[in-house]
Structure 1
Amino acid sequence: MNAFLKKTPLDFAVALAGPEGLGLVRELGNAAGGLPFSVLFDESGEISWRRLGVSRLEDLRALLSS
């Protein structure tokens, strides 16, 4: 992921969690603990979107602009 972020500048924040983040991803709605897992939050800090599986950059940008 770090290599991807170095060559692909993003206009939104990215947080990475190692094995110690398993409890957090379960709290965020990923009961299976599968990866990759993505979550977007709205302005009030509420979850507005989540996905278990690969997310396309174009889809994330579209979600952020809506």
Structure 2
Amino acid sequence: MGGTGDKIKGKANEITGKVTGDRSQQMKGKAQQTKGKATEGVQDAGERLRDADERAGRLPGEE
């Protein structure tokens, strides 16, 4: 599952945990959201590196 999917599923778990009073599910949801944000950050960094490499006249994997 991608970063956005983890964030959405995590928010749903967090809300469900709040409504039902299940702190474990609530914390699981928050952790899942954090994982989603981290995944998106890594993906964004990779895209920025590829863009910078292309602007420098090289394609990824070329030396």
What is the TM-score normalised by the length of structure 2? 0.22
Greater relative contact order (Cα 8 A, min sep 6): structure 1 or 2?
2
Hey, which of these two has a bigger chunk of helix by percent?
2
Structure with bigger gyration radius: 2
What is the TM-score normalised by the length of structure 1? 0.22
